[in-house]
Structure 1
């Protein structure tokens, strides 16, 4: 009788292992199918929605492949005030757009001229002048561009981009 019980126990253990492997295999296949479905649906269904968004972003000013941005290190300028006991400061960081690599190298070499030009434009400004409306920053950017180009002796800077602007 013990032989029959051992045979049944062995059959039950073997059957349990088969069901366990089958369950694990089904779970792994389900996760794999879910991951594949997510990838496929993301690739084919969302790509149509992404194109119009990308087009909307690119409607602004475009920078050509030859043009380069030259970063000017962050610096602080004392602003003009009526009260010497309450000074105000402007922390500013800009990037300057130039035509090509040669002009970018030349502008990096002459960075003291760039910084001096910017300080001369910004120092007489008051905080209220800079913050009065949205166009005031655009006016300052244009003034900075004109001052750099004048001091440099040619129109090297095409555009000024403000990347950090804090008044305290």
Structure 2
């Protein structure tokens, strides 16, 4: 329990220090979807282009974060319900030392892609300062909603609103 708290604090501290070193505000998450091009943890090519006109859900998480793992079934159910409605979803793991297989196991068999933040070109300002964080982006790549630990009803309502636009 103490080790988890220390890791959580170190992750948060690392994000803040990286942002400060680059002269970026540590607390301000971007309002635009950053482009992502990488390989998923199961070896598949993955890309999200902000200009693709899809609703995108990005879930930042880590295997050691219990609320992050608790969000996975909510996210997976939403993905399976809406993946044919123009929804793209990705889980971005902030684990640094965990193996690919451990991260995949922590993802609890979700049907959406999982990637590691360290395998992307995300800038420190693109990363959250606390976990979990789930962002919903509209079809123009603008963030519509940000969530900490998910409330299933509020998340579903925000996602439905984004998909209806």
Same fold (TM over 0.5): no
- Bigger fraction of residues in helix: 1
TM range (shorter): under 0.3
Q: What TM-score do the two structures reach when normalised by structure 1?
A: 0.23
TM-score, length of structure 2 as denominator length: 0.23
Q: Which has the larger radius of gyration?
A: 1
